[in-house]
Structure 1
Amino acid sequence: MRLLRFDQASMLHLTDFGDKTVPPYGILSHRWGNSEVLFEDVANKSYKEKDGYRKIEFCAKQATKDQLQYFWIDTCCIDKWNLEELSKSINSMFLWYKNATKCYVFLPDVSVPTATGIAPQAMWEESFRKSAWFTRGWTLQELIGPSSVEFFSSEGQLLGDKKSLKKLLHAVTRLPVKALQKYSSDDFTISERMKWADGRETTEEEDIVYCLLGILDVSMPASYGEGREKAWIRLKAEVNSSAPFIIPFARNDKFIGQESHFADLEATLFRDKQTTRMAILGPGGTGKSQLALKFAYRTKRRNKNCSIFWINASSIDGIHQSYASIARKLNIPGWNDEKTDLKQIVKLYLSKEDAGQSLLIFDNADDDHLMSAGLSKTGAAALIDYQPQSKLCSILFTTTNVDTAKRLASRNIIELQKMASDIARSMLERYLDIEVSITEKFEVELLLQELSHLPLAIVQAATYINTRNLRLHDYRTQLSKQDQRAPKSNSASTKDTIQEYDTQNPVAATLLLSTDQILCDSPLAGKYLFFMACIDRKDILLELLDAPSPFEREDAIKTINSYKLVTRRPADSALDIHQLVHSALRESLRKRGILEKWTQTAVKRLARVFPDDKHGNRSKWRRMLPHAKYALSHSPRDQEDMGKLRLEFKCADVLLSDGQYKESAELLMQLTRKRILGSEHPDTLTSTGNLALTYMNQSRWKDAEKLFVQTMETFKRVLGNEHPSTLTNMANLAATYWNQRRWKLAERLEVQVMETRKTKLGDSHPDTLTSMANLAATYKNQDRWEESEALDEQVMETRKKKLGDSHPDTLTSMNNLSDTYKHQGRWKEAEVLDVQVMATRRTKLGDSHPSTLTSMNNLAVTWMCQGRDAKALELMEECVRLMRHVLGTTHPHYISSLGALTSWQIEISGVSSLTFI
């Protein structure tokens, strides 16, 4: 949990307490506006520019009055770009409000001009009763949970609290006075608590159900798009379930699967001998996930003691979110500790026999080596590492990849073939809103033939028919006209309307009908479809969809959603688009000759919204990076406009910051070869300098030195000796000397940089601190320990105050000071710092980040020097495994760590055992 505080200089700070004891805090209850301060605004110190800063000042003022140093506001205490963190936060929200010392309700639609004291109730009661705060679903838990809730007008005037206003609150909300005064779930039945949301509203219809999860003390994954009624059914089933059941989708009664498939699944998966694995294999759109979903609900009905869990296996991030939900649901010790490896605790828990019978469904397992957003293939993790080992645990995969299916399930594979005519007919009739007449039976058969009996095409066709209220014959007629290539002359959007499709692809045919209609209904919705075709199809962030207003954007998304072309993810502020729909859209744009134009549009949009590489933007750039990579990789190679160049610069910077040195170097080499800006343009020089940095991170010191010398001379000539960019380049050149053990050359440059920065920027400026840390390292390598320690301690303490304990620069300075302690044999002091650095880096950057691996190596060395051989060996073995995958077997850091491990093993046992590599 993160909390806010102001320091003595009125600077706002976020403190992450992790597994530490959380101090008393105040909490804000409010409705979101259009300019709220977000997590990245606080991290990047840009919070005062937003209108929402007024609410932060208000909350801080009230907390100070109540002698509370810390306070919490949902807009900026949660990194909403980090999906795993967001998922945890949503399910922890009720407890956070309940545990708050004070809750401050800010009512912008209640105005009281009184300057001091509690305003007379007669002045504000009418507007208080009508306040929109009482109509919202999510504010219900914010009213009930905290023991102390105080209400304030838009001027910050205190109106009263839950105790003094209990009669008025009861009259407005119809909630029992006992629930308002001292809520305990034991005092009310489930049905009573469910009724408390009656009459309240939410933006998404399903949220009126989801807002009750904390009050009902249950956890259930959100499934936006299922509708209110199905969400209610799932909630009731969750409340009454005898075994854990985490399925993020409502039961789809309209989907029909072959009974032989269900029989095969049951016969294979629930053999009582060993862990059984099975895969459903088939091309996109054939109904793999729907078959697995129906099997999950059937298993729940037939075996009430079987725990069933649905896992998004499309990426590491998806798996982590799924495992977080499982750990929370099972209340596994450590589930809410940020330092816990959720994969391991869930895997170990379900591997125990006393965990009982379970079914795990890994959906979209198209690659058995998973990647996180923004990570390269070398940072991938094997899917097999996430699976429990128990004869009571059955595992089902859905995949489009034959080789993956064989590796994961051996011969236990169900391959989905063309759907039988009778099943396809029954599915279409179930999806249609109107009953098919006897005279239309022949039309059904003809239509199904045109749709190739493909489930996805059937669903899209039925949705279009329902939305447009068409007869089957009319729809089939429109479908057949898709091969007429002439554009519609009477359409205002003729230049963007798709008229062609591949007759061998029924999804393309149904899609293009829907797309043409969408363009007529909402040109903005049509543009969104074209834009989405030019970026990655998963996790399409709403922020990427440009619109005159949030309301117009929402209307356009609703139009697209009405034709079932996207899957909405409101909790993540994102959309997904089916792979076949995405491919069909791209092919259609290509045939119309506008694919390149829309790719350019996508690149320009991404260049505008893609964040810089500041620490607070890490989660944001990791989610945007797949879209940037996709758009750039599909952009014409000879395209040299400023938008593309700017996006390439940004991608190279964040790849470098995220430890992906090889990818960053490849992109930077391309940039340095481009002549659009000129060889002496600051951006060109910056990209050359960053390329040298990637060489440094790959220990290519001579290559780095050559580039730094070249750019330093140019910087001096173009910008001057004291320009920040010149000084940065000089510091980097000093680092290359340092790594070549050319200490005096390094020291001369570092002293010059440090003194200039002190004069120009001040002693506590981040750049000055960096140069002090560099000089300390040089002193260290000349055995000048007192000088080194003094600088290291000064840098660390200043960074802690300015940046916080978990900022990467603070961690680096802690690591530097630890190294100084080690050289003096002060192992205990070094260990304290090493443990903290490694744990924080694991949480913030992930296990595979190069900085995390460095800290693992450092701690292992510290333990070995203390004689704690077993712990040191275990940690170094893990470090070497990860280094091999992330850095490669030729990287100096891998070779060094492997050498240390080998020598330790020989020293301890006399035998080198490297079978783990």
Structure 2
Amino acid sequence: WIVPFERNPRFTGRETQLAQLEEMLFTEGRSGDHTTKAAIIGLGGVGKTQLTLEFLFRMRKKYPDCSIVWIPATSSESLHRAYLAVAQELGMPGWEDKEADVKGLVQEYLSKESTGQWLLVFDNADDIDMWIAKAGSKPQSGQGSQPLIDYLPKSKQGTVLFTTRNRKLAVQLAQNNIDTSTLLLQLTYLPLAIVQAAAYINENGMILTEYLSLLAEQETDVIDLLSKDFEDDSRYPNVKNPVATTWLVSFKQIQERDSLAAEYLSLMACVEPKDIPQYLLPIKQSKLRKMEAIGTLDAYSFVNRRRADQCLDLHRLVYLATRNWLRKQGHLAQWTEKTIERLEEVFPDHSHENRNTWRMYLSHVRFALRSEIIHETKTKLMWRYGLCLYREGIQGRWKKAEDLGVQVMEARKRVSGTDHLDTLTAMANLARNYWDQGQWKEAEKLQVQILVTREIALGQNHPDTLTSMANLASTHRSQGRWQEAEQLELQVVQVVEARKRVLGADHPYTLTTMSNLASTYNSQERWKEAEDLGSQVVEARERVLGADHVNTLTSIHILALTYRSQKKWKEAAELGMRVVEARKRVLGADHPYTLTSMSNLASTYNSQERWKEAKDLGSQVVEARKRVLGADHVDTLTSMHILALTYRNQKKWKEAAELGMQVVEARKRVLGADHPYTLTSMSNLASTYNSQERWKEAEDLGSQVMEARKRVLGADHVDTLTSMHILALTYDGQKKWNEEAELEVQVVEARKKVLGADHPYTLTTMSNLAYTWKDLGRDAQAIGLMRECVRLRELILGVGHPDFTSSLNTLARWEEEQE
């Protein structure tokens, strides 16, 4: 028995329909050799759900061996949660797997004859797109992506019952098979209308005949207008819509007796009708007066007051009637503007601390922003809404945030001018969105405009100008444009020195600039300079701000990354642990910054070969991010990516490949197939396949990555060259030495040009090419190249470095073979 509602003790009547249901589902239906299906259709508010509930409670008593399962089909989210709860309740193997197709598990379970007799109810099956694939549409790939009709279980002991407002869908669901018994109950009495009428009669102490006279007096044209958008075939022609009629009688009474209640109803008609926070309704006179107004709406059955979460629900028909009334009176635009102004007051900023609050308002803000109103308040609300969507870290919402960002930027240009600071801030936010989506050209175009404007308006030494320089330099680096990046970074260095002289070494602006420069040195692999500067910032901030200040912890975090990049694992781990503990204490264990610190510490443990600690910490981060940010958030996928690398380092190839494949598929879905993060995941998965000696899969995937990076990043980008290097290793594993040599020659030449002849990556490729030539029997060329590699490694890395020692020993062995 999996039904989430109690029995309604006030249910009465409908005996004919109840008997008809039992006959069709439990008498006639049981004689066939197929799953019996039935549908109950009718207008919203007609009582389909209450009739079904009463039927279930009666059948439970009469057929105690029949399993009964209830699934709400109001949205894909509610349906998934219900399926998950069913799978858990019935103890289906594999339900706890985050990637499990729970609908398929339930379908398989109920389709087994050993499961016995069952009745499956889908309540509010109204969305035809959820159930039936559109004609001509291509089948969707991935688990759980088929239309719901494909997940209906099949068993001669089973029965499926649908409730729906959609007659066409009802016919397709209940008559899917030509032999299926079908029940379409036409319910013409509307409980919602009856409840509203009863509330009015009780509130005003009138007798039934007086109320019937009131209904008769309502003008037909007004009722027709209020009924717009919820006409239904189940109502006979030339009959007034009962909900609209009772609504109009009650609303007139509320306008006369409680104007604040009427105002609240008008405001709620301009947002989504469900999950309306009571805080959205402004306090006009006193909190008591507000509660009285809500009580009036509740008494007339216009709203459903949810005590548990202090939210209100408007019935769909009440909602539509109210909007149509406002439209008729010419007040809809006015109330929409008032609602936007109120949302702008209560909608918080996008900080993590406000996450639960702004999530509560997202659907309402989205609805209000659809209006055609042009107003500065709407622009402000749109900006904050876009930042919240961006903070969600999901590509679908990033794209929406991008669209909103463009609108805000254009509005700011129009109202304040191109050079206004608000306009530049909007442009910077949009550029950041482009950057995270891997749209480097779009980001660069905006960043150049911002930098030029800020240099003119604020001066080269202003913190915002320096931030613009650093952002543009970062974009150039992502594009592989090293010289341009370094020119910008050199300007930043000069400003840092000027800052120290003018403001002082401990001034917050100076320390912020130094911290940004340390990060820049990190990206340039100038580790010594990054470490020296980072240490200065940490010491100064500890002295000026305190050891636990968020900015101090950020500096320590950056210094830990610098140590890790230099393979100073001990120092990196010590600092990393310090940041994790401090951020847990200051920000909380589930704060995104805390989880980022934990993720980086797990990577450090990886490098130290502290596999168990790396795995345990990495798993904690994955689970926490799934819980806090969601399974498809970019940070969640990053932590899964790191955990897959941990498995690979432990030589747990199977686990690494499985998790790596999950990340690849998720990043394709969330970020897109050509996003740099997606391509990095594919590249790492190809390396895992190499380690498993799954050469064909490694080669296919490696080739895809190489071609995609050439197309997206350019042939000489460092990431493109890395993918060519990995593909060459795949050829080596298959002894395709000619193909390997051809690729490695390209990589050596490109790395010399891009990174320099003495860069460690260039030397690694030279060494690999020498080995390949040796495999091909080109001994003289192999020895000559290895000799050059030894010379450069001694010069750059030193005689104590393991790479120098390995090259030297190989060269000695080859030369000895030649003698």
TM bracket, shorter-chain basis: 0.5 to 0.7
The equivalent residue for 1:543 is 279
Give the 3 Å change call, closer, same or farther, for CA 359–768 of structure 1 in structure 2. farther
Match of 1:804 among 584, 588, 601: 588
Match of 1:289 among 33, 45, 49: 49
Once the two structures are superposed, what CA deviation does each residue of 1:694-724 show, in whole Å capped at 9, x if it has no partner? 1122111232233234334545665677877
Give the 3 Å change call, closer, same or farther, for CA 729–798 of structure 1 in structure 2. farther
Q: SS in structure 1 opposite 2:213? A: helix
Is 1:247–1:309's contact at 8 Å kept on the other side of the alignment? Answer: no
Q: Distance in 2 between matches of 1:701 and 1:776?
A: 28
Match of 1:852 among 606, 622, 636: 636
Give the 3 Å change call, closer, same or farther, for CA 294–873 of structure 1 in structure 2. farther
Q: SS in structure 2 opposite 1:819? A: helix
Give the 3 Å change call, closer, same or farther, for CA 696–385 of structure 1 in structure 2. farther
Q: Distance in 2 between matches of 1:717 and 1:551?
A: 55
Once the two structures are superposed, what CA deviation does each residue of 1:583-609 show, in whole Å capped at 9, x if it has no partner? 121111111100011111111111111
The equivalent residue for 1:838 is 622
Q: Distance in 2 between matches of 1:581 and 1:874?
A: 50
1:147-186 matches, cutoff 5 A? none
Once the two structures are superposed, what CA deviation does each residue of 1:498-533 show, in whole Å capped at 9, x if it has no partner? 997668644222212211112223222111111111
Is 2:270–2:339's contact at 8 Å kept on the other side of the alignment? Answer: yes
The equivalent residue for 2:437 is 698
The reply to whether residue 645 of structure 1 matches residue 379 of structure 2 is yes
Structure 2, gaps ≥5 residues long: 131-139, 229-238, 493-512, 519-532, 701-819
The equivalent residue for 1:664 is 401
Deviation at 1:561, TM superposition (A): 1.9
CA RMSD of aligned residues (A): 4.7
Give the counterpart letter for 1:883 in structure 2. Answer: R
Give the counterpart letter for 2:614 in structure 1. Answer: A
Deviation at 1:828, TM superposition (A): 4.2
1:541-620 matches, cutoff 5 A? 541-547=277-283, 548-620=285-357
Match of 1:361 among 100, 109, 121: 121
Deviation at 1:625, TM superposition (A): 0.3
The equivalent residue for 1:95 is none
Give the 3 Å change call, closer, same or farther, for CA 679–842 of structure 1 in structure 2. same
1:449-848 matches, cutoff 5 A? 453-483=189-219, 505-547=241-283, 548-633=285-370, 635-637=371-373, 639-642=374-377, 644-659=378-393, 660-674=397-411, 675-712=414-451, 714-715=453-454, 729=468, 732-733=471-472, 735-740=474-479, 745=486, 751=514, 753=516, 764-767=548-551, 769-770=553-554, 773=557, 792-793=576-577, 795-822=579-606, 827-848=611-632
Give the TM-score of the pair, scaled to structure 2: 0.64
Deviation at 1:796, TM superposition (A): 3.5
Once the two structures are superposed, what CA deviation does each residue of 1:7-31 show, in whole Å capped at 9, x if it has no partner? xxxxxxxxxxxxxxxxxxxxxxxxx
Q: Distance in 2 between matches of 1:385 and 1:876?
A: 32
Give the 3 Å change call, closer, same or farther, for CA 293–817 of structure 1 in structure 2. same
Q: SS in structure 2 opposite 1:247? A: coil
Q: Distance in 2 between matches of 1:868 and 1:714?
A: 52
Q: SS in structure 2 opposite 1:572? A: coil
Is 2:580–2:594's contact at 8 Å kept on the other side of the alignment? Answer: yes
Structure 1, gaps ≥5 residues long: 1-242, 371-376, 425-452, 487-496
Deviation at 1:348, TM superposition (A): 9.9
Q: SS in structure 1 opposite 2:415? A: coil
Give the counterpart letter for 1:841 in structure 2. Answer: R
Is 1:379–1:885's contact at 8 Å kept on the other side of the alignment? Answer: no
Q: Distance in 2 between matches of 1:379 and 1:553?
A: 49
Q: Distance in 2 between matches of 1:261 and 1:910?
A: 60
Q: Distance in 2 between matches of 1:621 and 1:470?
A: 44
Deviation at 1:363, TM superposition (A): 2.6
Q: Distance in 1 between matches of 2:429 and 2:142?
A: 22
Give the 3 Å change call, closer, same or farther, for CA 888–319 of structure 1 in structure 2. same
Deviation at 1:814, TM superposition (A): 2.2
Give the 3 Å change call, closer, same or farther, for CA 350–516 of structure 1 in structure 2. farther
Q: Distance in 1 between matches of 2:97 and 2:375?
A: 44
Q: Distance in 1 between matches of 2:264 and 2:196?
A: 18
The equivalent residue for 1:73 is none
Is 1:269–1:395's contact at 8 Å kept on the other side of the alignment? Answer: no
Q: SS in structure 1 opposite 2:443? A: helix
Give the 3 Å change call, closer, same or farther, for CA 325–559 of structure 1 in structure 2. farther
Q: Distance in 1 between matches of 2:547 and 2:479?
A: 29
Q: SS in structure 2 opposite 1:568? A: strand
Q: Distance in 2 between matches of 1:570 and 1:844?
A: 25
Q: Distance in 2 between matches of 1:539 and 1:380?
A: 30
Which moved further from structure 2: 303-312 or 749-758?
749-758
Q: Distance in 1 between matches of 2:625 and 2:86?
A: 24
1:199-218 matches, cutoff 5 A? none
Q: SS in structure 1 opposite 2:12? A: coil
Q: SS in structure 1 opposite 2:272? A: coil
The equivalent residue for 1:15 is none
Q: Which is greater in Rg?
A: 2
Give the 3 Å change call, closer, same or farther, for CA 687–878 of structure 1 in structure 2. same
Q: Distance in 2 between matches of 1:459 and 1:527?
A: 22
Give the counterpart letter for 2:645 in structure 1. Answer: V
Q: Distance in 1 between matches of 2:119 and 2:158?
A: 6
Give the 3 Å change call, closer, same or farther, for CA 347–770 of structure 1 in structure 2. farther
Give the 3 Å change call, closer, same or farther, for CA 260–631 of structure 1 in structure 2. same
Deviation at 1:678, TM superposition (A): 3.8
Match of 2:73 among 291, 310, 313: 313
Q: Distance in 2 between matches of 1:803 and 1:696?
A: 27
1:833-912 matches, cutoff 5 A? 833-898=617-682, 900-901=684-685, 904=688, 907=692
Q: Distance in 2 between matches of 1:271 and 1:576?
A: 43
Is 2:71–2:121's contact at 8 Å kept on the other side of the alignment? Answer: yes
1:225-240 matches, cutoff 5 A? none
* Greater relative CO, 1 or 2 (CA 8 Å, sep 6+): 1
Deviation at 1:534, TM superposition (A): 0.5
Give the 3 Å change call, closer, same or farther, for CA 766–886 of structure 1 in structure 2. same
Give the counterpart letter for 2:308 in structure 1. Answer: A
The reply to whether residue 398 of structure 1 matches residue 163 of structure 2 is yes
Deviation at 1:747, TM superposition (A): 7.1
Match of 2:5 among 247, 261, 283: 247
Identity score, percent: 39
Is 2:40–2:185's contact at 8 Å kept on the other side of the alignment? Answer: no
Deviation at 1:627, TM superposition (A): 0.5
Is 2:29–2:181's contact at 8 Å kept on the other side of the alignment? Answer: no
Give the counterpart letter for 2:677 in structure 1. Answer: H
Deviation at 1:651, TM superposition (A): 0.6
